[in-house]
Homo-oligomer: A and B are copies of this chain.
Amino acid sequence: METLTIGKVAKQTGVGIETIRFYERQKLIDPPPRSASGYRQYPDTTVQRLHFIRRSKKLGFSLKEIRELLELHADPQATCGDIRQRAERKLADINKRIDDLEKMRGSLEILLASCSSNGTSMECPVMQAITGE
């Protein structure tokens, strides 16, 4: 099997070299075998692993959660239901965050509607609203 240096893996995945080493320290990727001089020699599967991490991040999972997903993936005792549970929890989590942001948006829109952009900052209705008058 062919092996890749860390720079090759970085190029193939778009993940920075320092970040790859960081992920190793964080136990998101296995420490690869080393050459005689100590260079990391990555198998192809590491490239797949990094893609997995990138995709999971896009879905909103934290590195800690991704590590847990990977552990589940590797655990023969783990079930599909376990995975589903994580995904559902994350979905609930995302919904909560959207909710919070929508509340912020609503408040900001109300404030902005009251503002005609005239006068000084002290007279600004937006500012007054936040100040609490």
Contacts and interface: CB of A to CB of B under 8 A. Distances in A.
Contacts of A105: 91, 94-95, 98
A19 interface: no
Nearest to A83: B124
A90 B101 CA distance: 11
28 contacts: A52-B130, A52-B131, A55-B132, A56-B130, A59-B104, A59-B108, A59-B111, A60-B108, A69-B127, A69-B130, A73-B121, A73-B122, A76-B120, A76-B122, A79-B117, A79-B120, A80-B121, A80-B123, A80-B127, A81-B117, A84-B112, A84-B115, A87-B108, A87-B126, A94-B101, A94-B104, A94-B108, A97-B101
